[in-house]
Amino acid sequence: MGHSIRSGIFACISCVRLKVFLRFELPALAAFTVSFLLSTDWFAAHVTQSYLAWLFGWVATEHTSERIRNSDFILRKVAHAVEYILLTWFLHRACRRSHPRAWSWPRACTVLVIMLLWAASDEIHQTFTRYRYASVTDFFIDAGGVIAGLALLYLRYHIFSRLRNAAI
């Protein structure tokens, strides 16, 4: 009898761990997997420029190769920042699962260090691809995205906590 109760408790604990993993860690792992894939040759400039040329063909009647290159360049830099804002949010969410409503400077610093290491490894990874290359500029854009992501999280926690306290 005691054995079945014990196994039931362990099954329940395993179920809870699985739910926590699925809710907090899996989205972060999925986001980092997508980030890794975005650093491959599948998303090299010549590939994305062909999509932009197709899009400009639909939207504008006049599109030059220079306009497509410039648009691709701007789109890539904005995408770098947005990607790292989102990755920061996912990682922060995975790290804060035990205290979902609390802001923590040590946790934010941990996320910052992990994200900067990820940004550096992302640029290093691109040196091993055929059509991509490492860029210090992209690293700093990524770092700016991380800082912006953490700043937005900080503001979110402090604004919501003040609103919550004012409502009480």
Tens-place pLDDT, residues 101-143: 678 889 999 999 999 999 999 999 888 988 877 889 999 999 9
Which residues, other chains included, contact 145 with Cβ-Cβ below 8 Å and sequence gap of 6+?
80, 81, 82, 83, 84, 85, 87, 88
Whole-prediction pTM: 0.78
Q: Which two tokens stand for residue 52?
A: 């932009």
CB 75 within 8 A of CB 137: no
Q: Give residue 69's pLDDT.
A: 75
Q: Which of 17, 35, 147 is nearest to 80 (CA)?
A: 35
Angle CA 67–141–116, to nearest 5: 150
DSSP letter, residue 126? H
Q: What is the pLDDT of residues 32-67, one digit of tens each?
A: 988 888 877 666 666 666 666 666 665 565 667 777
Give the pLDDT confidence score for residue 15 in this predicted structure.
Answer: 74
User: Is residue 116 within 8 Å of 143, Cβ to Cβ?
Assistant: yes
